Every structure is written in C-alpha cells, then in structure tokens.
Amino acid sequence: MKEKWNYARQLRRNSTDAERHLWRHLRHRNLEAHKFRRQYPIAEYIVDFVCLSAMLVIEIDGGQHVDAAEYDAVRTRRLEARGFRVLRFWNDEVLLQTGDVLEVIWQNLVAR
C-alpha cells in the first residue's frame, strides 16, 4: 500500500498541464466548498481527482486514452461499483472549455 501512496505522490509531482489547470480551480474548496484530493488511491487505482464526501471521481484523459477505452470502461465500472460517480474529460476540454467542465462538475456535486 505504501508503494501506491509513493506512486501517487510521484504522479502529483509530474501532473499534466490539464491536471494542474483544473487543480487550480478545485483546490482550497473553491468549488461549492467541497474538498478535492488529487492523484488519490482508491482500490487498485489512482484517480486524478476525487471528492470523497460527494463520492465523485474526475479523470482527465489525454491522447493515450483513445487506445485504452476498454481499460477505462472497466476502471469506471469498478469505481462505480464502489459507489463513486466518475466524470471523464479530455485534456483539451479542461484547457479550452474550463468553465463548461467546472459547470458539469458543479452539477454533479449538487446532484449528490
């Protein structure tokens, strides 16, 4: 388990531009006062962002995910089986349509 936490720490240090950009909007309870964590271990996965109180996972996908659609679908189903709602956004969406992405996240937070 300690290895997973160390790997999560490494992912936080090497986050993508889209992850850093979205984190600026999610950190410090900026969105509806909900606390988000980034690169957080859940079961056998490390998710990009999670709000534990709302059971909401946010994944930011880059171009490599085009070839990993089946893996991502399995991952999403397993997280949903644990009670999480999973939102997926492409890097470009986060960087170019930030307001729209934040609106979808907000709607899912208040829907809980």
pLDDT digits 0-9 by tens, 34-80 = 999 999 999 899 999 999 999 999 999 986 656 678 899 999 999 99
* Tokens 């950009």 found at: 21
**CB under 8 Å to 18, separation ≥6 — which residues?**
60, 62, 89, 91, 92, 94, 95
CATH number of the domain where residue 28 is located = 3.40.960.10
User: Residue 100 sits in which domain range?
Assistant: 2-111
Tell me the mean pLDDT in the region 88-102. 97
How far apart CA 74 and CA 86 sit, in angstroms, is: 12
Say how many domains are in the chain.
1
The pTM for the full model equals 0.87
Tell me the mean pLDDT in the region 22-42. 93
Q: Say whether pLDDT at 11 is over 90.
A: no
